Structure 1
Amino acid sequence: MLTLDKIYQASFALKTVIRRTDLISAPNINPESHIYLKPENLQITGSFKVRGACFKISQLTEEEKAKGVVACSAGNHAQGVALAATTHGIKSLICLPDNAPISKIEATKWYGADVCLVEGVYDDAYQKALKLRDEKGYTFVHPFDDEDVIAGQGTIGLELLEQLPELDAVIVPIGGGGLISGVAFAIKHLNPNVKIYGVQASGAPSMLNSIEHNKIERMGFVRTIADGIAVKEPGEHTFEYCRKYVDEIVTVNDDEISTAILALIEQHKLIAEGAGAVAVAAAMFNKVPIKGKKAICLVSGGNIDVTILSRVIGRGLQKSGRSYTMTIELVDKPGQLQHVSEIIARTGANVVSVHHERVSHTADINGCYLRLEMETRNQEHIDQIQYTLTAAGYKIIPG
């Protein structure tokens, strides 16, 4: 049984293991609200997952410790289990999906675990881990549907109430639901007036679907840049805790997540992975009713693969109106490119790429296309550029 006492026990047990991450004021995330960040991306191993993993392993019997542990993960739970097991002198084997970021795979090995790569997504790694548990007698450390793990994650809820007693709302990422279950359980028992909002990626809304249909449902397919919360099916315990203690669950898409990652980098010098940025995305794009409220966004992890970071930033720049690509249909005669360039220069945009194409089966025989990529300030700036070019007689091709 999950109890408040167990969460306090976990808090005591973790005092010498984890970092107590500070709250960071983030006024520009949503100017109509009072937003704070809980940067668990700065936690040991770069994620909140170390809390639940360490508390779970601290509760094992000597016999269980002797046999070792097995776990499955998209990456962050893997590192938490690896660190906790190594700290206790326990053998650990981690099953990861073969599409997990290389950085997470290598970090898991660095913390002392053996790694088994499994074709597919998290749920496929989960089935492999259960098979190995049955074959080898390992103790399985579930990434979210275990009440010791949930209690460890719930220590965040205790910290939030201590750090901001006048708190109105907490916005929490949801994958399998372990984090929000622990946070919601702790906070609702200590201050039931605080609203708990969960956020899922629109490409992996397994908990949202399950809550809406009042039964656990398994998705056939999930796809999102937030790999840490790309879970096809919520847990039995977490489903019940979310149904009982979570006020609302919303979704954000990949473009919104990318914009949130970019905002955290630029405004707060914080690197968040996709799953770690969904709560911030929900606040930025007004997905939850927090106007005028004091709300905390839980930045759950920062283990993003640097090889995709530039692509994510590019998506974020486009979504926020900081990058814009347009195609203009021109008459193929001297001076056209110069005139377009002068107009854009007067608006204050910076052209970074130019592509001029004469031949096209869709163009007028005397026509050509000019595709420009430029740095812009925001969507209003883009609208100004479009209006100015159109007023000058140029035709902008949609899309």
Structure 2
Amino acid sequence: MQETRLDTARIRAARRVIDPVFLDTPLYRCEALEAVLGCAVSIKLETANPVRSFKARGTEVIASRLAHNGSCAVVCASAGNLGQALAWSGRGRELDVTVVASRFATRTKLERIRALGARLELVDGDHEVARERAAAIARYDGIRLVEDSLDLETCEGAATIGLELTEAAPSFDTVLIALGGGALATGVGHVLKEAAPEVDVICVQPLGAPALTHSWHQRRVVTTDSTDTIADGVAGRCPIPAVLDDLLLVADDAVLVQEASIIAGMRLLLEHAGLVVEPSAALGIAAILEDRDRFAGRHVVTILCGSNVDVDAYRRWCAPAL
């Protein structure tokens, strides 16, 4: 039987080194959404923290270990949220942080990375190009390269969300998880399948960035030449084989949703929950909108994974709600 890379004991140890500001995030029933969606909906809110996303759960573990080992520098590639999180975690531990990003990344995210004190290098091209450049910097400078989803700290930091879900004495049937690189899905999925195996773990990805979903269905790595989605936080083209192996062990399904549904999900979260979220965080709501019959009568948890939005773009997407 194939074994996962994740380990529950390490996940519990990870929780002990994460700054409490990122832990025990709100989990609550949102009745206002239920009337619209036709099922019971609970929200796990991962946006009310200093970096407005779940990513710091993983970077806290990484930065803590680097500081303990006497390291002084680290580099990563990021669409924005990981870079902010690593900058925040590194700043508190006196690490020199370099973030490589596409110059086409969300401006608000890039500005926040700079504001948190990281050195930001922009590249032409998408996130995969940024990954290549970050790896080159790590080799040349001899420093730690953080690779989201490949590095276990990112997965096991995210997995602490799963601990909080299961410790809340859950009555939910399904958890909808945004699928990008796979750290959130594999981490949370691992905990749920160990502690609450009856809960369905469903991963959600945009139709315009389907690589890991196609890989899950075909049980082999499938890459794409490009991505076309407003959900920049999950817009990867080249799945990591080890991450796919982990995902195959914990995901019950992986689905794709349309851009219009993502925008509709963002509007519903604003109108009925008073929450501003980035497109990646609305993937779970989008999945319900596209398959109401599947979720009717069920209790669904959706993880709102980030709220770093470009204000102008958000106004365009959510104009009717505003």
| Alignment TM class, shorter chain as reference | over 0.9
Instruction: For residue 76 of structure 1, report the CA deviation from its aligned partner.
Output: 0.3
Aligned to 2:42: 36
In the aligned structure 2, how far is the partner of 1:247 from the partner of 1:23? 22
Equivalent AA in structure 1 for residue 64 of structure 2? S
In the aligned structure 2, how far is the partner of 1:83 from the partner of 1:171? 27
Aligned to 1:20: 24
Question: Aligned in 2, Cα 1:288/1:211: closer, same or farther, shift over 3 Å?
Answer: farther
Question: Aligned in 2, Cα 1:284/1:30: closer, same or farther, shift over 3 Å?
Answer: farther
Equivalent AA in structure 2 for residue 135 of structure 1? Y
Question: Aligned in 2, Cα 1:14/1:202: closer, same or farther, shift over 3 Å?
Answer: same
1:209 partnered with 2:238: no
Equivalent AA in structure 2 for residue 120 of structure 1? G
Can you list the C-alpha shifts for 1:108-127, whole angstroms capped at 9, x where unaligned? 11111100001111111101
Contact kept? 1:29, 1:284, Cα under 8 Å? no
Q: Alignment RMSD, CA only?
A: 1.8
Instruction: For residue 3 of structure 1, report the CA deviation from its aligned partner.
Output: 0.4
In the aligned structure 1, how far is the partner of 2:76 from the partner of 2:138? 9
Q: Which of 112, 127, 137 is matched with 2:142 structurally?
A: 137
Equivalent AA in structure 1 for residue 200 of structure 2? K
Question: Aligned in 2, Cα 1:311/1:143: closer, same or farther, shift over 3 Å?
Answer: same
Equivalent AA in structure 2 for residue 92 of structure 1? V
Percent identity, aligned pairs only? 27
Contact kept? 1:41, 1:276, Cα under 8 Å? no
Equivalent AA in structure 2 for residue 57 of structure 1? A
Task: Write out aligned runs for 1:286-301 (5 A).
Answer: 286=291, 289-301=294-306
In the aligned structure 2, how far is the partner of 1:64 from the partner of 1:81? 17
Moved over 6 A (4+): none
Secondary structure of 1:220's match?
coil
When normalised by structure 2's length, the TM-score is 0.93
Aligned to 1:391: none
Question: Aligned in 2, Cα 1:241/1:288: closer, same or farther, shift over 3 Å?
Answer: farther
Q: Which of 232, 244, 248 is matched with 1:227 structurally?
A: 232
Aligned to 1:393: none
Aligned to 1:2: 6
Moved more, 21-30 or 305-314: 21-30
Aligned to 1:48: 54
1:239 partnered with 2:258: no
Can you list the C-alpha shifts for 1:37-56, whole angstroms capped at 9, x where unaligned? 11112233000011111112
Higher normalized contact order (CA 8 Å, seq sep 6+, divided by chain length): 2
Question: Aligned in 2, Cα 1:11/1:287: closer, same or farther, shift over 3 Å?
Answer: farther
1:58 partnered with 2:64: yes
Moved more, 261-270 or 156-165: 156-165
Aligned to 2:316: 311
Aligned to 1:74: 79
Equivalent AA in structure 1 for residue 43 of structure 2? L
Secondary structure of 1:65's match?
coil
Larger Rg: 1
Question: Aligned in 2, Cα 1:151/1:21: closer, same or farther, shift over 3 Å?
Answer: same
Q: Which of 146, 159, 166 is matched with 2:151 structurally?
A: 146
Aligned to 1:182: 187
Instruction: For residue 182 of structure 1, report the CA deviation from its aligned partner.
Output: 0.2
Instruction: For residue 11 of structure 1, report the CA deviation from its aligned partner.
Output: 1.4
Moved more, 280-289 or 91-100: 280-289
Secondary structure of 1:199's match?
strand
Secondary structure of 1:10's match?
helix
Secondary structure of 2:261's match?
helix
* Gapped regions of structure 2 (runs ≥ 5): none
In the aligned structure 1, how far is the partner of 2:241 from the partner of 2:309? 28
Equivalent AA in structure 1 for residue 75 of structure 2? V
In the aligned structure 2, how far is the partner of 1:189 from the partner of 1:91? 37
1:160 partnered with 2:165: yes
In the aligned structure 2, how far is the partner of 1:34 from the partner of 1:279? 13
Equivalent AA in structure 2 for residue 147 of structure 1? L
1:11 partnered with 2:15: yes
Equivalent AA in structure 2 for residue 2 of structure 1? L
* Gapped regions of structure 1 (runs ≥ 5): 324-399
In the aligned structure 1, how far is the partner of 2:48 from the partner of 2:290? 24
Equivalent AA in structure 2 for residue 306 of structure 1? V
Aligned to 1:327: none
